[in-house]
Structure 1
Amino acid sequence: MLKDGEKGAVLQRDKETYAIVPHLPLGLITPDQLRKIADVADKYNTAALKITSAARIAIVGLKEEDIDSAWQDLGIPPGAAVGMCVRSIKACPGNTLCRLGQQDALTMGKEMDERYHGLQLPGKLKMGVSGCPNQCAETGVKDLGLIGKAKGWTLVVGGNSASKPRLAEILAENLSDEEALAMSERIINYFKDNAKTGERMGRFMDRIGFDNLKKAALA
């Protein structure tokens, strides 16, 4: 039996089969990737294809002996679905595609995904990038998020939608792309260096004080 995350697989309720979750940055997928996912599901007679909250497609019901060949057939790397790491960066279409977008959420989200997806941390961390205040990337319940507004990015921290939901708090406003990325990096590094094992950003803030996190972010 594989451990959760080993070979990019997660044991299912039947204690016999596994789910794998290909990494689809920002939920963007090509027709060729869709065909490969469908072909793998058919080839290995899987139980289901499930769109996840991280805007990925989970292939559910693989036998352990089929996992390696399924990944080879897909040709797509695994998504960080479990473990103490940056699990996902979720982004809306932003002003690239959406008529309501005020900032470029896709370009910003792609940059953050390339920098941080799978980064090992003391606790899990989820990120969101929304191109306007409607927050279609659910930024308000992310550990770290960016919200696009007319004058720039609003950076929020400390949200989550787990068993004890909480809304993120505003840390800075009217940031340029460069400022938003730099501040996000300082926050993640500070969290990496100072959080306790298993601690989410919100509880970390409660323990150290929001003002101390803000001071580190603005340094």
Structure 2
Amino acid sequence: MTKSAIVEQSAPNKPPKLTPGKITPQVACDWENACDTYFLHKQVDAADQVKMIASGMTDPHLCKYMSALRSAWLESHWATKLRKKVLGSQQGNRRFYEWALDLQNLNTLLYGNPTHLDDVQLRNQLEANICDKLTIPILRAKLADDLSLKEWIEEVKHLDDERLEDLASQRKIAEEIHRSSKRNIATTYKPSSSSTKTYNASSPRLGLLTETECALY
């Protein structure tokens, strides 16, 4: 007896997956509901819905179906445009892991297409567009060339996390020094009570001039 396919979805905002197997009316309904839920939570435009869930259909027969569906419904040269987006992406100020995950997801949409990047190509692409401040730590780490893409990404994530932690610590120290400096300046220029000269009735006074002294003036 042929095993039925199963619809899997870890969270409403995660793309669903349809495992290989017989697609029953119930499975088809579950798949449709899961896709609709994902589109709703991620606010996916109608034009992008097919390519956003295509990789979740893991049955080889369905992959053939999806290839035909893409050809019929997606805009011309969509794969070339998507590959260009992958190749033009840079880490910038984003966390490395978040950026790498986005690139993997985009590249997954190209699976089965000649424009799809294999693991070596994707690693080279990531490595070439990492932010400058992360390049030196990676070079110093001397990561092995035979690491899988997943292992390499995890190692770089660790290095990026350390970099961001050091940056946060330096920022905290700088802010504390700035606050301390402001307190010291305020203390230095605070008027001292001893510097204020006070006159009162008990202070000694000069005597009045005599008549002879007055005549001289």
TM-score by length of 1: 0.25
Higher strand share: 1
Q: Is the radius of gyration larger for structure 1 or structure 2?
A: 2
Task: Tell me which protein shows more helix as a share of its residues.
Answer: 2
